[in-house]
Structure 1
Amino acid sequence: MKFDQYRKDGASGGKGQRQNGHAAVTTTDANPQERELFEGFGLLVTGQALAYALNEKLKMQFLELGTMCKAVVCCRVTPLQKAQVVE
């Protein structure tokens, strides 16, 4: 899974900085150091993107990615999508 990385860095005056490149997420069991890489990151998911992330093929990867992040924010989602995320 590839995604853009953004990280809020206190040294830069509190503004978010975009890091170049993409990160590939595989299983965290195979690589515990990968989990540490995402500890300070947050994940922002729109309702439209969540429709794809909750697909049966991607659901477990989305769960892994979400549990690796410090915070996950789902915005503009339906009540059904909210229920599926917390399920």
Structure 2
Amino acid sequence: MITRHDLKELQSLTKVPALSILLPTHRAFPENKQDPILVKNLVDEAKDRLRQEFSARELEPLFNQLDALVGEINYPHTLSIGRS
């Protein structure tokens, strides 16, 4: 669960472009089977929105990091995922 401290930390970031994607995940099968699709859709939407404001050159490092993070998601065990 995201805490008030987490939100304050996200709000304090000043480096742009920056991105936060929040998604409540499902705890059990079969509902958790939809989580990878929901994540992909949110990532695609976020990338599209960022492309409207920033150049590909500016976004490349962010997208590389985002794709790596998404690739690390262990969907069956998303109950306590969090990164600082």
Give the TM-score of the pair, scaled to structure 2: 0.30
When you count strand as a share of all residues, which structure comes out higher?
A: 1
Task: Give the number of the structure with larger relative contact order, counting CA–CA contacts within 8 Å between residues 6 or more apart.
Answer: 2
Q: Higher helix share goes to which structure?
A: 2
TM-score scaled by length of structure 1: 0.30
